[in-house]
Every structure is written in C-alpha cells, then in structure tokens.
Chain A
C-alpha cells in the first residue's frame, strides 16, 4: 500500500465549477500537508500549506485536513482555464534529532478546466 493515494484523473470541469481534489494517507505521523500545482514541464509550485488538522483558505483555494480519517482535500472555487494543471498533495513528518523532513507526494491529479 502506498503511503499517499491520489486519484490521477484526468478531471475535466467547465469554467466556474467548484473542483474537489483529494488524497488519503496511511501514516499517522504525517503532520504537515501541502498542495502543489504543476504545469506541464515545470516544477511544482506551492499552493497551500496546513499543519495538523483544520481548514485554510486563500482566495479561491481552500485546504482541509481530517487527520482522524487520514484524508485531505483541496477545493477550487470559480475554476478558471488557467487552473488547468496537475495538482499534487504532499506530506511530511516532524523532525527527529538531526533528521531532515522528506516530502511524500501523491501521484497528482490532472485537472482540465474547459472554457
């Protein structure tokens, strides 16, 4: 079983729709949760960062973390064609001693917003 599971899509929605992207995970030690957006042939760009459980909102984006269910979500309101990209969830655990954090990524969900 992978540590992080993410539906690869593709997900196609009309412009203006609300998009829901999700990841599940198995490692209860994950405490840091991130969403990255990756355009074709580019590096990942950080969108949202959440520590532990709860919601976080930034403009049209809302990130939710439910640690009891080991489930995280990213919602995009009023989706735009420019939102078309691959969305990657990523997670990490707290440091122990001198160890550095590693990010464990989902496979990414390819989103296409149709004008």
Chain B
C-alpha cells in the first residue's frame, strides 16, 4: 500500500531558529502533498496544498512566509518553519496523493512533533 514517510519524528529547537520537516512518498509518485497541523486534543487543520513543480496553496490564516513549502520532486515535499516561536509548537503531519488516485483516501505520514523552547 501507499507509504508516506516523515522525518524527523520529533524535533526541539530554540526560538528564532528554522526547522525543516521532510515528507516522502516511498512507493508511489505524489503529485499532491498536503500539510496539516494538529494541536493537542484538536483535529487536523489543513495548512497548505502543494503540487509538484508549482507554488503551494495556503489556507486562510496560514502565513506563507513563515511556513515555507517546497515540492521539488514527485517523492519529496518539505515544510520549513522559519523563525520558530513557542506558539509554533505542534504536531505537523503530511499526506500525499498519487497521480492516478484523485479521489482516493489520503495516506498520512507519522507526523513530526515540534517543540520550540
């Protein structure tokens, strides 16, 4: 089945630094990747949608200059949290969809827990 790998699984960084999170599709080509954020005991909230080779589409209220998304290949998308602050501490999860599965359910990575001190 479709496997999505996310790295790192957890990261601690100091306030003001930047953190990069990788999302890879291991056994299929992901034309579209989605980045979600989840606060404790809350649902997943879509942050942005990225299509390979084009700029990401951000949801309302998500700062695109703070959350940089790059989808440079069909198997890799990255999310960079720039100038991180404690309020950016959260669980970030990516998901991916292949070219031939436009309406198929999404498969998710295992998430990255970011703690900003």
Q: Does B100 contact A (CB under 8 A)?
A: no
- A45, B43: Cβ atoms under 8 Å? no
Determine the residue in chain B with the shortest Cβ distance to A110.
B41
Q: How many angstroms between the C-alpha atoms of A29 and B109 in the bound complex?
A: 27
Number of interface residues of A (CB under 8 A): 25
Main secondary structure of the interface of B (DSSP, over half): strand
Instruction: Decide: B102 and A49 in contact? CB cutoff 8 A.
Output: no
* Cα(A107)–Cα(B38), bound, Å: 10
Residues of B that sit less than 8 Å from A by CB: 4, 6, 32, 34, 41-46, 49, 51, 91, 93, 95, 97, 102-111, 113
Residues of chain A whose beta carbon lies under 8 Å from any beta carbon of chain B: 6, 8, 32, 34, 36, 41-46, 49, 51, 88, 92, 94-95, 100-103, 105-108
